[in-house]
Copies of this chain bind each other. A is one copy, B any other.
Amino acid sequence: MISLLQQEIESQPEVIARLLERETHHIQQIVAQLPPFDYALIAARGSSDHAATYAKYAWTTLAGYPVALAAPSLLTMYQARIRMAGALVIGISQSGQSPDIIAVLEEGKRQGRPTLAITNDGSSPLAAVADHVIELHAGPEKSVAATKTYTAQLAVMALFAAALSNDPRHMEETQQLPTALEATLRLSTPIMQAVERYRYMDRCITIGRGYNYATSFELALKLKELTYLMATAYSSADFRHGPIATIENGLPVFLVMPLGATFADMLTLAQDLRER
């Protein structure tokens, strides 16, 4: 019998295919209707905050928009009044129930700024407050660790980046996501064999850069939540600037290094680590 977690992991190609079908055109319409804005101000927590970190790279690289992450505690702890002039105000919450994320969107509305909710529940309080709502269509999330809702949030952020970029090739590429996810999931068996040797590790390091900076943090969070080991995430640049000194013989380091802009940098790091 496969676990709920595994079911949800395996449902990702289907979830993303549904999301693309129902929201691609919707996102293009929203982007066409948005008033001018200078930057995105995103409120989110936990895995959703990692989706916001991904957006920081995707939105800036593809469309030039800076992304500011609004720390929720600015509102909950300090009752800060955030100036939102120039901002597109975005709240990301799987459940749409987080009071601090809702408070950021309410304030955006009060200040006359465009607001966007990204949530798995279109009837949630977060959705009720926003000008525009993107639903994840991921179905109920039953396991404790976010998997399908996290990748759905990333897909929404990629769709917005593509729509904002004015380059139709980017939007075409997003439509390949279900196929890419299926190909990735077919690697499960060799991956399960490869990770056998890590059965008794009690700590590790995860490293990613650029688009995959968020991946290294999400990977570390998943390892902590699901296996209780001590996983620490870095960008390769930050890791070289000090923490690399902590590497001792036998400490596992997992590098997220797909082909692309960051590959050469990650490969150099992998070689440096091998020589230690």
Contact = CB atoms under 8 A, between A and B. Distances in A.
A160 interface: no
Contacts of A49: 238
Contacts of A246: 224, 228-230
Contacts of A70: 60, 66
Contacts of A203: 203, 230
Q: Kindly state the interface size class of chain A when it binds its partner.
A: 35 or more
A96 to B, nearest CB: 17
A80 B84 CA distance: 24
Given A66-B70, A68-B66, A78-B261, A225 B237 contact: no
Contacts of A73: 209-210, 213, 235, 237, 262
A65 interface: yes
B232 A232 contact: yes
Contacts of A209: 73, 77
A183 interface: no
Contact of A242 (B69, B210, B221): B221
Interface string A37-65: 01101000110010000001100110011
A80 B58 CA distance: 10
Nearest to A70: B66
Given A61-B74, A68-B69, A73-B209, 9 more contacts: A39-B86, A46-B242, A71-B210, A73-B213, A77-B209, A77-B210, A203-B203, A221-B242, A224-B245
Nearest 4 A/B pairs, CB to CB: A68-B68, A38-B86, A86-B86, A64-B83
